[in-house]
Amino acid sequence: MRRYLRNTDWILVSAVLMLSAIGILLIDSATHSYSQVTGSGWYTNRQAIFLAVNILLIMVSLQFDYKLLNRIAIPLYVINILLLVAVMFAGKTILGAQRWLQIGPIAFQPSEFSKVIMIICLAAFLESKAKYLHSFTEYLPTFAVVFIPFFLVLKQPDLGTALVFIAILLAILFVSGFRIKWLAWGAAGFAALTPVFWMFLKEYQKNRIRVFLDPEKDPFGAGYHVIQSKIAIGSGMFSGKGLLNGTQSQLNFLPENHTDFIFAVAGEEFGFIGTFIILLLYLVIIWRALTIALNAEDDFGTLLAVGITGMFMFHVIVNIGMTTGIMPVTGVPLPFLSYGVSSLTANMILVGLLLNINMRRKQLQF
């Protein structure tokens, strides 16, 4: 046990636990008015219980070398595809999206765990092909690996998670030798195909992009979320209104305030000071993840850590961007703060992987 404690990245652990504790406080505040429907503290208790369970699972997982994941990447990929296909045929629909699988009393989102699996599979695939990747065409199988789950998640529809796959892919490609000029070609090709991509979007997704450009275009419809979010954040000013004292969140003017728009609750109740601390904690996590990537024992560990970093960065930038009105609303949760046991569990698995990679870097001490 002492060896584990000695080789644990306590800076990373502290940042994650502090964010998770802040998240539980915010979820409790955001759902305070829900108590008559769900019972007092239902969301808070559920998030806290799963946080405790996940911490225990991480402690157990640290006893196993992360390199074992390289050997089971293909079975994981197959399981991932099967779960995403199962959602298409037997998924539970909530708020117009078919993203959940129901197994007895438990409902979970396979797309959240799909992010974890995609990081593992991409890292394993590119690590095994590293000696043969010299031209753009040799990277095409990598794109195929991502395209299948990307398409299946996009069909749910879940554009936000589908875009997370692209962020993970770009992050891992960047350190695997993929040339910058190829990324530029890809960006140009994506821009050229934007009209085609637009045709496949659902109408509500198109409306989100329209109101991003002009929220006042539909202030009581598609633009309502963004307008209320900006009002909430702005009203918090420097020091905030205090926990449970936010007007937009407590009076239910702010939709999805315990999930996608949790940062708006933080802005209203904690103000600039509180949101600055939250952003600082995210920067610490990203810094430690990049440090672990740079010092990993092998290429597989480096690619894993970079993929995890890319995913966390995308979630933070997009979620905070949409709540402040500088990015379209995509339904991407804020790691460790937003309510959601599937999201929390997936994020904690990734933290466990980072700790595992860091520990194995110190094998002589271990």
Structural contact between residues 244 and 269, judged by C-beta atoms closer than 8 angstroms? yes
Q: What is the pTM of this model?
A: 0.89
Q: Give one DSSP letter per residue of 24-58, joined into a string.
A: HHHHHHHTGGGHHHH-TTHHHHHHHHHHHHHHHHH
Structure tokens at 256: 């999805």
Rounded Cα distance, 107 and 70, in Å: 29
According to DSSP, the residues that pair with 92 across neighbouring strands are 100
Number of structural domains in the chain: 1
* pLDDT digit string, tens, across residues 288-309: 999 999 999 889 999 999 999 9
Q: What is the DSSP letter of 137?
A: G
Confirm whether 44 is domain-assigned: yes
Confirm whether 224 is domain-assigned: yes
**Residue 292 confidence (pLDDT):** 95
Residues in the chain: 366
Rounded Cα distance, 282 and 335, in Å: 9
Structure tokens at 318: 């997009």
**Residue 38 confidence (pLDDT):** 54
Phi first, then psi: give them for residue 32, nearest 5 degrees. -55, -40
Residues of the chain with pLDDT under 50: 364-366
Confirm whether 131 is domain-assigned: yes
With CA atoms as reference, report the closest residue to 135 among 177, 185, 89, 184.
Answer: 177
DSSP SS3 for 253: coil
Show the beta-strand stretches assigned E in 234-358. Answer: none
**Residue 5 confidence (pLDDT):** 67
**Within a 10 A sphere around the Cβ of 364, how many other Cβ atoms?**
5
Confirm whether 13 is domain-assigned: yes
Confirm whether 28 is domain-assigned: yes
Element (H, E) at 160: helix 159-175
Confirm whether 365 is domain-assigned: no
Confirm whether 122 is domain-assigned: yes
- Cis omega (within 30 of 0) for bond into 157: yes
**Residue 316 confidence (pLDDT):** 96
Structural contact between residues 124 and 70, judged by C-beta atoms closer than 8 angstroms? yes
Residue given tokens 């998640």 in the structure block: 153
Confirm whether 221 is domain-assigned: yes
**Residue 31 confidence (pLDDT):** 86
